[in-house]
């Protein structure tokens, strides 16, 4: 049973709660498939009269904004030790290379890194905690977080819902293609971030190597 089939077996209120919870936890910093759950629920809303797409989009947006804000507060309080702890617990997602790549994005783009990070799988996990660690002013973070949450959650829900309405009969037989597309987009984003993180880790290692002889000479 895939995600959409499972969502189809529970009441509409539970669908809203699951979407908000999963997206909220992902935004907080927990590696979860928020995008897949949202796409599945949006497809369900186009085929199931009990699931309102407007309420679904609002719940997804609320989960994204609240989760990111909690992640920001945790990151601001935990600081660098938090990133080290996350790296030990989730080395695949919070490796030194990933963190270095995300930090460079924040230093270069600031608020835009939070906004556009909502559309990239790994940056969705980093955005809140890292913004807190880097002490980004909360009003800037909240503005970018709110706009990004509305654009991503609301936009994704609207697009998938209307695609489902237009092609309802086709999607009833091949709805898994929507999930495959979401997974492929997510994997592509992860591969791009992974490649950048490896390059960042390599550059960091080279910098440390170059610095060691200088320290020894002193």
What percent of the chain stands above pLDDT 70?
62
Q: What is the pLDDT of residue 215?
A: 45
Tell me how far apart the alpha carbons of residues 138 and 156 are, in angstroms, rounded to a whole number.
Answer: 26
Which tens digit of pLDDT belongs to each residue from 4-16? 566 666 677 888 9
- Asked which of 89-103, 139-153, 204-218 is least confident by mean pLDDT, the reply is 204-218
Q: Are 89 and 178 in contact (CB under 8 A)?
A: no
Three-state DSSP state, 94: coil
User: What's the pLDDT band for 65 if we cut at 50, 70, 90?
Assistant: very high
User: What's the pLDDT band for 55 if we cut at 50, 70, 90?
Assistant: very high
Q: What is the pLDDT of residue 163?
A: 75
Domain boundaries of the chain, sorted by first residue = 3-217
Q: DSSP secondary structure string, 55-74?
A: HHHHHHHHHHHHHHHHHHHH
Whether pLDDT at 71 is above 90: no
Q: What is the pLDDT of residue 1?
A: 47
Q: Are 41 and 153 in contact (CB under 8 A)?
A: no
Mean pLDDT of 161-180: 59
- In this prediction the pTM is 0.66
- The mean pLDDT of the chain is 75
User: What's the pLDDT band for 158 if we cut at 50, 70, 90?
Assistant: confident
């Amino acid at each position: 049973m895939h995600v959409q089939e499972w969502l189809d077996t529970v009441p509409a209120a539970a669908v809203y709660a699951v979407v908000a919870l999963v997206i909220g936890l992902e935004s907080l910093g927990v590696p979860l498939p928020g995008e897949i759950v949202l796409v599945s629920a949006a497809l369900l809303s186009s085929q199931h009269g009990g699931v309102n797409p407007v309420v679904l989009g609002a719940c997804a947006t609320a989960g994204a904004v609240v989760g990111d804000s909690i992640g920001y507060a945790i990151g601001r309080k935990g600081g660098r030790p938090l990133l080290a702890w996350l790296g030990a617990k989730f080395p695949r997602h919070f490796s030194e290379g990933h963190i270095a790549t995300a930090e460079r994005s924040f230093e270069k783009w600031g608020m835009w890194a939070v906004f556009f990070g909502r559309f990239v799988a790994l940056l969705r996990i980093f955005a809140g905690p890292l913004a807190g660690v880097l002490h980004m002013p909360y009003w800037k973070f909240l503005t970018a977080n709110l706009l990004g949450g509305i654009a991503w959650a609301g936009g994704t829900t609207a697009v998938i819902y209307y695609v489902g309405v237009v092609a309802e009969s086709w999607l009833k037989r091949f709805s898994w293609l929507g999930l495959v597309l979401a997974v492929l987009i997510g994997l592509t984003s992860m591969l791009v971030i992974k490649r950048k993180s490896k390059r960042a880790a390599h550059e960091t290692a080279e910098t440390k190597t170059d610095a060691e002889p200088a320290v020894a000479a002193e």
